[in-house]
Structure 1
Amino acid sequence: MWDNLPTEISTDILHRLGVKTLIKCTILSKSFLSLIASPDFISTHIAQHTNSQLLLRYFTLDNKEIYHFEPDDDTFSGFRSQGLLIPFHNNCFTVAGCVNGVLCLVDDFGGHEGTLIILWNPSIRKFVHVPRPIMVFKTHGPYQSACGFGFDSISDDYKVVRVVDLDTVHWKNPQTTRPPTQVEVFSLKTGCWRVIGDGPSYLIKRHDSEYRGYIPCFSNGSVYWVGYHHKYVILKFHMSTETFEILQVPEILTENESTFTRDMDLYVEECKGNLTLIQRNYNDAIKTCNVWLMKEDGVAKSWTKMFDFDIAKLHPCAMPRAFGFRKNGEVIIVKGGHNIYSGGRNENVVTSTDVVTHEDTALKEISVDCFSLYLSTYVESMVLFKEGKGIGEQTTQLDLF
């Protein structure tokens, strides 16, 4: 009966199915497998399935790396479901991006052990072990690096961009006193790295206080980081053209700024398709958190403050951090503090706060290591189904099907 259906109708039916059902369909026939694994089918399936989830990554007190996925709707349960234990052996990954159901996990600290980068789609149990980058300690000496991950819609390709600051002491060119920032790009289609040239002369802050690290934001075809060179800026890397653009932060953030201090955290996020900048001040005199939204892409004058609160009044014994946004525009805030009566644990409360009324509700109290929190939106997809390898025996740890 299925074989008698016109191709357009049968394909449309498959597009409406979830990834778990699609995987089962791939074992029914070679024609199903060929269709579902095709790039056109996967792209169309992503476009038709826009129901996002919230992804929260954290480490437990016994150093287990846990990923929680929760529906981002009225049924949101506050990460009460059983989390997924990461199926890769590693002490600590940084999440360099989450795009179309794929997480880019990075362990890249410029040390002797090299660089480990994995593209992982937990919804289909597939991953790609990215080859070793061109610039590593063995060949280039000590370095600092920042990775970003995104999708190039022009070439229909997923890319990892790596910005590398080489150590000045080991720089071997006598004509220059400081090595240029180097940029290399990995293409999933080719499976190779390419050095694309010098990067902008801005330092991408490796540790955004003790909470977020250099985690970038992918939005509308570009990767964004906060950079610094005498003043704060936003570095924008266009995935299609593989070029950088410098965006100015709100002018008020650059006033009286003289040093790259730990008194102000800045990091980028996306809210309803717009670039946002989260600012957290926590010196002795000022403890505030502000969220800025860029209404026009690339236009510095379009920055608008959409949310602010006084940290000291809201939670005097802790340092709340804004981590991202829900689908409805509410900002996700994690309030936490070190409790000496809890055996040294960090007690954290995840809240969803309305940006207009500032009303918030405790969604879930969790005891996690606040040095490793990561929050993002997540959409299930079939990306990596063809390119990726199965996780194998460790799939028993994942409660997916």
Structure 2
Amino acid sequence: MQSSALEGGEWSCADVKDDFNIQLVKKVAITGQLNDAASTTLELLKDPYFAKIHLARALTTTSNLILQEHGSKWGSLYFYTFDIGEADLSSCCSDDRISHSYFRHLHPLSKLNADFSLRGKNLAFIGSCNGLICLYCNSSSKPFYSICNPILREYTELPYPAASTPSYIYSNHSAFGFCPRTKQYKVIRFLSPTSVDPFTSIHSRRMVADIHTLGSDSWRRIENPVWLKQQPFDPFVNGAFHWITASHKPSELISSFDLETEQFRVLPPPPHFSLHYVKKFSWINIGVLRECLCLCYIYEDAQFEAWVMKEYGVKESWTKEFSIDMKFYCKLRVEDLSRPIKFLSNGDLCFLSASDSLVSFSPKKRTFRELKKMGPWRTEVTAHVLSFISLKDAVGAKRCKLNNFRRGRRMFNFGI
């Protein structure tokens, strides 16, 4: 599909489905500059068949970032699209002996060069799945969850969770995913009680979880889930969410939640994870590499390691994917690798460095490279894939009450 086709208004379903280079169409859809022909094309892009094959291709060809900004009562999400394969802007290898600020100066990502943005009161990002985004609006009167597809300008609010007794507070842990067996999207949230022990003044360590299936009318309560330590950087694989727990026992370090059975399960860590070994971690997080569960951690402030569970649920299948002796790489510090974002399709690890740059490490080449400068961002960064999956198909046309974003100049106002 060429730009001349857009200008001439000559469109067909075959043209759209056979050509995946549709960045121009996405730009038109996002900015809202739609003539009659482009409007017709946008309807073609919503075709479930096209949405499915485009998503499969987009997972390996494009990379998108969501930068989250939180200030006062507002929350904003800024979306950027770029080709990581072409972002070979600067690099260093183990032979370099310079400081961690070795990368060239690049034009930073800014609010002005974002493809588009979402803005709303008390808006928080929960998760991304198949191009759909889960948001949480922490309104004091009536907090609610919402699912949206920003490129199609669609969003729908989830039912309000029923109040519970005793009172519980949101524990800043939620997740959004898709069950491939049942073809259902689900949201899970964790809450902790507000009760305090009158003798010790210690908050209760008990936790509950609520689960919602998109298209249903209510949330379901799950008692006594695991106590989570932190949000994973890429939690979903094999139809389940995964987290690092707050347990001090290595055998209870990894917890999963199966979206089909809605059951929590403990997964075995690598065999060498003894209590003495785990105590020497600077940090540990969990993600996905080539559709396998992957643990990333820094040992004794010096060695970064990535281990992959080749056969899901089998302890003996854990295999070291690669390691980084940090003292040999440009005098890297622990904090330079402490914010992983995602493993790319080629196996490279993408993370935020201490110099506020988006950086990747290639295990094959044993080199680092800077992909983008983050500028003054001090907030969270998440990987995302744009798709044309409509909420009518994801939730069910009869059950989905769709709303449209209010559009300003490259900004969609959400829930205002």
Q: TM tier, shorter chain? A: 0.7 to 0.9
- Residues 306 and 47 (structure 1), Cα distance of their counterparts in 2 relative to 1, 3 Å cut: closer
Q: Is 1:118 equivalent to 2:143 in the alignment? A: no
Equivalent residues in 2 for 1:11-90, closer than 5 Å: 15-16=17-18, 20=26, 28=40, 42-43=51-52, 46-47=55-56, 50-59=59-68, 65-74=77-86, 82-90=113-121
Alignment partner of 2:298 out of 270, 275, 280: 280
Counterpart in the other structure of 1:319: 335
CA contact (8 A) 2:68 2:380 kept: yes
Q: What count of residue pairs does the alignment treat as equivalent?
A: 353
Contact 2:119 2:411 in 1 (8 A): no
Q: Which residue of 248, 263, 266 corresponds with 1:243?
A: 263
Residue from 187, 207, 210 that aligns with 2:213: 187
Separation of aligned partners in 2, 1:169 and 1:228: 20
The CA deviation string for residues 350-389 of structure 1, in whole angstroms up to 9 with x for no partner, is 222111332122222332334x232324142223256442
Name the % identity: 19
Given that residues 357 and 370 in structure 2 are in contact (C-alpha distance below 8 angstroms), is that contact kept between their aligned partners in structure 1? yes
Which residue is equivalent to 2:96? Answer: none
| 8 Å contact kept, 2:64–2:386 | no
Q: Distance in 2 between matches of 1:142 and 1:361?
A: 42
1:297 and 2:312 matched: yes
Match of 1:100 in 2: 130
TM-score by length of 1: 0.72
- Matched residues in 1 for 2:70 and 2:118: separation? 18
SS in 2 for 1:203: coil
SS at match of 2:219: strand
Aligned partner of 1:69: which letter? Answer: T
Counterpart secondary structure, 1:327: coil
Structure 1: where are the runs of 5+ without partners? 1-9, 172-176, 207-212, 337-346
State the Cα deviation string for residues 280-300 of structure 1 (Å, max 9, x = none): 35xxx5333221111111112
1:223 and 2:246 are equivalent in the alignment: no
Between the aligned partners of 1:394 and 1:170, the Cα distance in structure 2 is 49
Q: Cα 1:241–1:37, aligned 2, differ >3 Å: closer, same or farther?
A: farther
Q: CA deviation at 1:69?
A: 2.0
**Secondary structure in 1 matching 2:316:** helix
State the partner residue of 2:4.
none
Aligned with 2:404 (options 370, 375, 390):
390
Matched, 1:307 2:335: no
Uncovered stretches (5+) of structure 2, i.e. residues with no partner: 1-11, 90-105
Whole-angstrom distance in 2 between the partners of 1:392 and 1:112: 22
Counterpart position of 2:227: 203
The CA distance in 2 between the partners of 1:316 and 1:37, in whole Å, is 46
TM-score with structure 2 length normalisation?
0.70
Q: Distance in 2 between matches of 1:318 and 1:214?
A: 18
Please report the RMSD computed on the Cα atoms of aligned residues, expressed in angstroms: 3.9
2:267 partner SS: strand
Q: Give the corresponding residue for 1:158.
A: 185
- Give the letter for the 2:366 counterpart: H
